[in-house]
Structure 1
Amino acid sequence: MWFLCEPGYVPDFNDLTLLPFCAGLTLLGLIASWAAWRRRGLASGVRGVAWSLLPVSLYMTGLLELLWDVVKSVTSWVTHLIFSPTVWAGVALFGVSVVLYVVSGVARTRRGDAPEKVAKPKQVSDAIGELTASGPPAASAKPTKQAKPAKAPKAGKSQESSEFDEIEDILKRHGIN
C-alpha cells in the first residue's frame, strides 16, 4: 500500500468493487427516500428515488467508467502541472515572450517606427459636390451650415428688423421666397 502515497496516483477503474458500491448507494438512497416519503410527502419521496437510481444507472450505461476516466485524467494533468519543473519552465518562457512582445511594441512607438495611420475618410460635409469612385453622396446626406460672415446691424434699423432679416435669409435658403 506504499504506492498510495505517491503524488499523482489514481487507482484504476475496477468493476468488482464499483458495482457493489453503486448498488449500496442505491439501496441506502431508496431507504432514505421511503423515510422522506413518510415524513414530507410524495414529492420528496419520488425526488429521493430519482436521485437514488442514478449510481446504478450510471454504472449500467458505462457513464460511471467514463466519469472515472475524466476525473483520473484531470487529476493526473493537474499533478503533472504542479509537480513538473519542465511545465513551470514552459510557463516562465511563455511569460517572458509576452513581456518581450509588449516591450517591443512600446519601443516601436517611441522610436517612431509605428505604422503610418490610415487617412480618415472625408466627412459628408467635405464631400458635397465632389464626385468620387462610389458616385455622388447619398440623398440623405445633408450639407452642413457653411460659416457665413455675420452681418453687422445697420445703424438705422431696430432689433425687430434684424430678426426679420434672419428669417428672410432662412426662407431664401429653403427656396421659399
Structure 2
Amino acid sequence: MLAETICSAVSAAGLGIAAITAFRRRFLTAARIAAYALIPLGLVLTGAVAWAADTAFDPMAWVGFGLLGAAWLLFLLSRAVERRRLRRATPETPGESGRPAAGPAASRRAVPPAPEGGRRGPAAGSGDQDDFSDIEAILKKHGI
C-alpha cells in the first residue's frame, strides 16, 4: 500500500512538472517528462509494484534467489574446471592450431635498405636541385 502511494505521488509530481514545461512552450520536453511520469502509475495499475513489494519482503523468495545464485555459481565453477582439465590434457604447440607460428621475423615489414647518404624516396639520387624546383613551383603558383 505504501509503495503504491509513493508511485502515485511521483507520477503526480512528474505530470505537474510536465505541465509547467508545456506552459513554457517546450512541448517535446514536456511530452518526454509526462511519459516518464506515467511509468510508475502504470506499474501500480498493473500490479507489478505489489508483486515486487511482496517478493522483496518475502523470506522464501530470498531463499529461492539464493538457491538460483548457488546453482549458477556451481555451473560456472564446473565449466571452469572442465576447461582447465581439457587444457592440461591437450597442450597446444604454436603450429598445432592450423596457423603458422608468428615470430619476430614474421611480424616485421620488409623495408628496403636505405641508399647511400641515408635518404629515401624519389629524390634520393637526383640531388638538391629537384627539391628546390618543387618549392619554387609552389611559390610561383601562389604568386610569391
TM above 0.5:
no
TM-score by length of 1: 0.37
Q: From the CA coordinates, give the structure whose radius of gyration is larger.
A: 1
